[in-house]
Amino acid sequence: MKTWFIGYVAALGTLAVLDALWLGLVSRDFYKAGLGQLLLDQPNWSVAILFYLIHAVGIVVFPVALATSWLAAALYGALFGFVVYAAYDLTNLATLRGWPMAVSLVDLAWGAAVSAAACVAAFLAMLATS
């Protein structure tokens, strides 16, 4: 159980740091330009935190549990992130007027990348403690 918790903390920490950099610095202007008035002035932090808590559980339970190497963790993590972010992005494309395709494509790529990184971090943390 301790090993799973350490993997969870590693995944959660990786998600938090990378997404803070991505959303706060790297892509902020891209999302503002693409989504305009749809964006809140400030994120709803309780909902955002809930997403990260749930996503980190999914990372440890699904792709990391299947992985037998760091590379497998990265590949399973990328697939898992793509699927999770696709649920959001494709639903928005299907239901929201004016939702930009470019935002969805960038977001899908980011979801795959950040989830792959979080899976590798969790896998390596769990390997080190087992």
- Position 99 scores a pLDDT of 96
pLDDT in tens, 44-70: 999 999 999 999 999 999 999 999 999
Which pLDDT tens digits describe the chain residue by residue (130 residues)? 889 999 999 999 999 999 999 999 999 999 999 999 999 999 999 999 999 999 999 999 999 999 999 999 999 999 999 999 999 999 999 999 999 999 999 999 999 999 999 999 999 999 999 8
Average pLDDT of every residue of the chain: 96
On whether the CB atoms of residues 130 and 18 are closer than 8 A, the answer is no
> What is the reported pTM?
0.96
Domain ranges of the chain: 1-128
Contacts with 102 (C-beta within 8 Å, 6 or more apart), sequence order: 34
Rounded to whole angstroms, the Cα distance separating 8 from 115 reads: 12
